[in-house]
Every structure is written in structure tokens, then in C-alpha cells.
Structure 1
Amino acid sequence: MIVRLFAALAVALLAALAAAQPVRAASLDQGFKAFLESEIWPEAKATGVPRPVFDAAFAGVSPDTSLPDLILPGGKDTVAEINFQAEFKSGADYLSERAVAGNVTTARKLRQRYAGVLGKIEQRYGVPAPIILAIWGRESAFGAAKIPMNAFEVLATKAWLSRRKELFRGELIAALQIVADGHLKVSEMKSSWAGALGQPQFMPSKFLKYAVDFDGDGRRDIWNSVPDTLASIANYLNAAGWQAGRDWGFEAMIPASVSCRGEGPDKTYRIADLVKAGVERVSGRPFPESESGRSGHLLFPAGRLGPSFVATPNFYVIKEYNNSDLYALFVGHVADRIQGAGPLKGGWKKTDRLTRGDVYRMQQKLVAKGADVGAVDGLAGFKTRRSIGEAERRLGLPESCWPSKALAARL
């Protein structure tokens, strides 16, 4: 009798949940349409977007609640436990020899094929061809990656429900402007899950600022034109402050006497002074004479548990393209390998298995103790790594500058 009663209750509960799903979906869709009409259309209209473009962009579009980092109506603003972006996961995976070597092999062939256009681009923008090729490979597998999502659905969903609504609201307006200006049809506006477009994976606002027509056909075509794609990448880096004639950085052996708490773009050292402090290149060669008297920065992408580097300001220019240390390292390392360098020599040591939520909660504790961790977002950026190193020093733990269960317990 009791078993049958529980079975009946379970069936009733499942039926109620099933009936509630269409109601919730309809409610979400109504709120979404109201948001587009009352908030996005007036702003789009003010920037010159015609109503037919607006209507075509959102015909049949509904909120995609499968996207990461959304706050559904009535939900709490919490960070996902899992990292969805590869750039913020394991350095050992992201910079694995398998991932790097494949890009290098293809990039070398393409460097020969497009030598003429790359030479002209480098002359105009001052950005080396290997750096451009490395970004092209990382972003879209040299144009081979499928980018299937509806850009307007992605951007509109994120403008309405994302933790960073204002950012995506601006990108949505920019996407509408791209169509209004005649660069693409609505049906051609395909993006990544983050709303990035074309082979260089520009956000729409970056397309409007930095995409260029390098092949002279009258269109800034980063979807189909290789010259436009490569020149647009170079133009972006040039505008971000690329210093022509400088390297991006060097893998280095950094002694324990030089603290990992000293890393970051806001802490600058003369490379010659770092050498005096015992910093050496892993290759055994001296730093280039042209770099010796210039500024450099310490970089510990996995704290003391991974390879370490002396970065130049150009490393942080690459981060303007994608704000991830691992991304910028991948680009710089692939560029070096294109020119004949070998694999990284520093290993990635085994670390505690922590989720993004674990790091988020650790950041909250550090902030409560007065630390500057940068954004409290569950990602171990350089300010979080420095704050961890300072907490470890204060608590008498070995200085690793990397999240650990031992530190979490002590905090």
C-alpha cells in the first residue's frame, strides 16, 4: 500500500513538473521579448538601426538558457562550479604538446603560403607574422572551426540574463550595427557561445573598431577573406600597444629568493636587474642585449607549480585580445615554435582538484581579510595568485601562489 502511494505521488510530481516547464518557458519568452522591445529597440534605433533589421535579427529568437554564466529570473548571482572556458582550466592541457604541435605544423605551412600578405601586414602594423598566425590558429583553427550559433540569440540572452549584462548589451547593439551597415546579412551572423564573430573571433564592438579591408574588395570580411582576417588581428594588437621589435617574453628559472608575490603587469623590473637577482632563461642563453635594459614582468601562470616566465609588455597586449594568461602563453609559445624553438621546459605539477566555486569562495575569504584579488570570479588571475602567496607567507605555509585545499582550510 505504502509503495503504491509513493509511486502515485512520484507520478503526480513528475506530471506537475512537466506541466510547469511550458509555463516557465512561455514566461521566459514573454519577458525576453518585452526586454528586446522596451530596452534594446530604443537604443538600437538611436544608433541608426532600421526597424526591418531589428525585426529580422530577432525573428524566431528565444532565450538560450543553456549558455553559461546566466542568472535566471528569481535565481541567485552565483559562479558556476565548473570552468566552461578552456583558457581558464589546466595549463598542462591547454599548452599540451599535442595542442601546440598541431598548430605549429599548420602555421608553418600557412606562413609560406601567405608570405607576401603577411610581410605587408607586418610592415604596416609592426606585429610579427608568427604572433598573427598563432592567434588565427587558436581562435578558429585557421578558419576551419565551425561557428554555428545565432549571434543575436547568444548576445540577446546574455544582455538579458548574464552576470555582465551591460557588456553584452553593448555587443548586441554593435551586432545590429554590423548588419545595418551592410557587412553581413542577419542569417550570416554566426558566433561562438560568447558571441564572438568570424575567423579572428572578434566581439561585435571590436569588429567595428579593428576589422580592416586589406584585400581591397570594399568589405571588412573576417569570415571569408584571409588577408582581412590576418590584417584585422594585427590592427587589433597594434591599437592595443604592440611594441615592434620586442619579444613577448621568455621562459625562465626564477629562484625562490625572487618571490612569486612580485608578478603582474603593475610590477615592473629592468630585465638586467632580474638577471642580477638570479633569474636565468631556461635555454641557458642570455637575454637579448636589446631587452636587457628594458622593462619586464614576472609571470607565474600556475604559481610555483608550473613553468615561470619573464614577460615583456607585449605579453599583456596579447591579453588584451583574450584576458587569459594561458591564452597569451599559448600564442607566444606557438609563435616561438613556428620560428624553431623547442617545447616548454618547466613542468606543470599536480595540484589540488578545486572547482571554480572553490576558488570563488577562497577569493571571498581573502577579500574579507583585506586582500586585493582583482575580480571575485573564481578564476586565479595574477592578483589572486599574489594574494594567495601573501596569505601563505602570513600563515607560515610554503609560498606557492596557487589555490590549495590547505590554504582554504586555514582561511
Structure 2
Amino acid sequence: MLRILMLGLLCSVLIGQGPVAEREAIERQFRTWLEQDLWPRAQQRGVSRTTFDAAFSVVTLNWNLPDLIPPGKQARTPKVQRQAEFGSPAKYFNRSSINWATSVGRQMQSRYASTLADVERKTGVPARIILAIWGRESGYGRVSIPHDVFEVLGTKGFMSTRAAYFTDELLAALEIAEAGHAPSGTMKSSWAGALGQPQFMPSSFLQYAVDGNGDGRADIWASEADTIASIGYYLARHGWNGERDWGFEVRLPAAVSCSLEGPDQGKPIREWVVMGIERASGKPFPDGELPRDGFLMLPAGRYGPAFIVTGNFYVLKDYNMSDLYALFVGHVGDRIAYSIGDFSEPWKPIDKLYRSDIAAMQRALETLGHDVGGADGLPGYKTRRSIGRWQIANGYQQTCFPDAQMKARLSD
């Protein structure tokens, strides 16, 4: 929520309040865009004029959304992004969120046991994983989803930094309305245009939303059965392997380099075991996992827990590209099903850094020949392992995570 508020504040700074006349002129341009640009494309997709007019009859531009560029304006990025402090991965796993998602997830597991079992049988996706995604995305349908999808996507399709993408999503939303999947008045979305309890973007809805209760509609707004079935179908279509787990917390010996992280450095799990990696629980890896590839995953480098993950972890990332999101889903799912506790290894304190600090480090590493995955100010696995390689090459303790000392050394 804080990130959304900060993005909204940035948007206000970028575009300013503007004179009323200017806003009114842009609103008129918006109506012209709807009529002359959007309507012909919607019509080609089979959207009726009745559906189109109903969608936009009361819609106006939402000036509070992030990343807007009104016609004739240019976005300005501050040189030092102090509004975007990089947060510790530990914040993603605050105890209240974990405990709530787990306890309510168990209630939902009991309440919808038959539906979950049916979807698991058809898709191979475990009930606990479906529940954890449902909980993370919409609090099992309890979180308010306040925005009109046509206002959000209309605004962002007309004047945002990714206008073409959001225009395509807007056209998909119109197709959904035309097909009558959503109950009247329920085409509500997030500030980014994601729909319903699974938070599908409209294009994902058209590909993956399914009817779970047999009423002929894929109602991800009001139907729990449709929501459960749609999440399971989405993961199955993205390659979930029902014979494998998502991953395991492990103990990473000091002798094993943290720079071995990444989905492109996998090896059979039995080889990780030979290197000295063990499950944090003390249990052996399942026999069926040993000959199959596992991947080292260290979301905080050596400042937090370590994991050997499977290909299913990266299927979870197809739902949301964040390592922490996928880890949250796997962990909460395990807590729902197996009554496990916290990670064995705690999240350690990290230095206070801004995204602009991390981006500067990434650019410095790039000049040294490292592939950091882009200077975006976020330490993904390519950045983390590049840091580890740089630390070893320069005689420093290998942590595979950015810190203030490294920032200073790279800027020398």
C-alpha cells in the first residue's frame, strides 16, 4: 500500500495539478480517442456499441493513477530516487500477514475441500498453492477491489508510460463485458487493472479464467469455485508439474558460493547434496526429487534463508515476477498444509539503500562486464550473483547482496 501511495505522489509531482482548462481539454482529447481510436478496434473484436457505451458512459480520466504522461508532457525522473527506498525482503514476510493468510487459508481449505480436490485432480496443482495465491491476491475475496476497470485502463491506455499495453488490456476488458462473464456492476479492478479475486489482467482472464461451478460463466468476482478453478488452470497451463514440490529451505555451507544462484545454473538435487547442501528441516530430500534439477535461490543473499527450488517456483513467478511473491506463496501454502513454522534461517538486517544507490552499483558492475539484468535498482538474482563474483574477485567476504561498503568501493 505504501508503494502505491508513493507512486501516486510521484505522479502528482510529475504532472502537477494543472489549470482546470488544461484538464478539461485533455478530457475532451480522451473522449475523441475513445471514439476515433478505441471504438473501431473494439468493434473489430466483436464488442457491441451498447457494451462500449455502457463501459464509458460515466468514465473520466483518473489523475491519481501512477505513471501518467498527459498529452504534450514528458515524464521526469529525479536524479536521486529518495522516494523509493529499497526495503528488506523481510518486510514481505511480516508475521501478521503470514499468520492471517495461513489461518484463513485453513478455513478456506475446509470450506471448499471438494472444489479444491477436484481442481487439484484435474490440474495437478496442490490445493495449498491455490489457496496461498488466492490469499495473497485478494485476501480470499475479502479485500475491497475499488476501481472501475474501464476508468483505470482507459486512463492508462490514453496517457501512461505503457499506453499500448494498457490499451490492449482495455480491449480485452471490453471483450469480457461483451461476453457477460461479470455480474452487472462488478467489473472492478486494482489500480493496475487486475480483475477479481485472482487478480487476472483482462488478457489473462480471456486465456485462463474457467467455469468452476457449472453455471456457464467464469465469474472470478463473486464465485469462489470459479476463482479456485481459474488459479489452478492458470498454473497448469504455465507448466506446473504435479509430481514435484515448489522448493525446500536449505542450509548453505560457507564453502558453496552464493554466486551459483539462478534458474540458468540448475543441477540435479543430488549434486547439491554432494556439495554439502541439506534441507533446513533435517529431513532428506524426497527420492523422486534427487535426480531432477534444483536451483539455488537466495532472495537476500547470505543475509537471509536459502532455498533449492524446482521449476514450479518459476511457474509461480509467471503469476507474479517477484521472487518474494513466489516464496510467500510456497511458504504460506506449506504452512496451511503442514503446520510448519517460520523459516529456520532469520532475515538479517541490511544497510539502508535507495533504489538509485543500487542502480548506480548495477551500472558500475555492468562497466566491469557483469550481467546484472539491467540497472533497475532492484537486486534480482543476476545482480546478487554478480555482486558475489565481484566480491570474490576483489578479496571481500561474499554476501551476494548490496551494502553501503560496496557502494563506496564501486564509486571509488
After TM superposition, the score normalised by the length of structure 2 is: 0.88
| 2:390 match | 391
| 1:299 match | 297
The amino acid that maps onto 1:202 is: F
- Does residue 1:41 correspond to 2:3, yes or no? no
Asked if structure 2 preserves the Cα contact closer than 8 Å seen for 1:57 and 1:186, the reply is no
Asked if structure 2 preserves the Cα contact closer than 8 Å seen for 1:158 and 1:164, the reply is yes
Change (3 A) 1:313 1:52: same
Structure 1 residue 375, shift from structure 2 partner: 4.3
Structure 1 residue 45, shift from structure 2 partner: 2.1
Asked if structure 1 preserves the Cα contact closer than 8 Å seen for 2:134 and 2:197, the reply is yes
Q: 1:253 aligns with which of 237, 251, 254?
A: 251
Q: 2:20 aligns with which of 7, 19, 22?
A: 22
Q: Secondary structure at the match of 1:351?
A: coil
Cα distance in structure 1, aligned partners of 2:395 and 2:26: 51
The amino acid that maps onto 2:176 is: I
Q: 2:145 aligns with which of 121, 144, 147?
A: 147
Please, which runs of 5 or more residues in structure 2 have no aligned partner?
1-15
TM-superposition CA deviations, 1:147-201 (whole Å, max 9, x none): 0011112112222333333322221111111111122367321101111111111
- Does residue 1:238 correspond to 2:233, yes or no? no
Asked if structure 1 preserves the Cα contact closer than 8 Å seen for 2:267 and 2:294, the reply is yes
The amino acid that maps onto 1:341 is: I
Q: Secondary structure at the match of 1:388?
A: helix
Q: Secondary structure at the match of 1:373?
A: coil
| 2:362 match | 363
Q: Secondary structure at the match of 2:301?
A: strand
Q: Secondary structure at the match of 1:32?
A: helix
Asked if structure 1 preserves the Cα contact closer than 8 Å seen for 2:235 and 2:315, the reply is yes
Output aligned runs, 1:126-205, within 5 Å. Answer: 126-184=124-182, 187-205=185-203
Output aligned runs, 1:45-64, within 5 Å. Answer: 45-64=43-62
Cα distance in structure 1, aligned partners of 2:340 and 2:37: 52
Q: Secondary structure at the match of 2:199?
A: coil
Output aligned runs, 1:249-398, within 5 Å. Answer: 249-338=247-336, 339-398=338-397
Cα distance in structure 2, aligned partners of 1:56 and 1:371: 52
Change (3 A) 1:39 1:346: farther
Change (3 A) 1:90 1:59: farther
Structure 1 residue 380, shift from structure 2 partner: 2.0
Change (3 A) 1:256 1:205: same
| 1:404 match | 403
| 1:210 match | 208
Asked if structure 2 preserves the Cα contact closer than 8 Å seen for 1:199 and 1:222, the reply is yes
Structure 1 residue 58, shift from structure 2 partner: 2.2
After TM superposition, the score normalised by the length of structure 1 is: 0.88
| 1:13 match | none
Q: Secondary structure at the match of 1:386?
A: helix
Asked if structure 1 preserves the Cα contact closer than 8 Å seen for 2:183 and 2:219, the reply is no
Cα distance in structure 1, aligned partners of 2:204 and 2:334: 27
| Greater Cα shift, 343-352 or 51-60 | 51-60
Cα distance in structure 2, aligned partners of 1:335 and 1:19: 45
Structure 1 residue 348, shift from structure 2 partner: 1.1
Cα distance in structure 2, aligned partners of 1:53 and 1:371: 51
Cα distance in structure 1, aligned partners of 2:35 and 2:376: 31
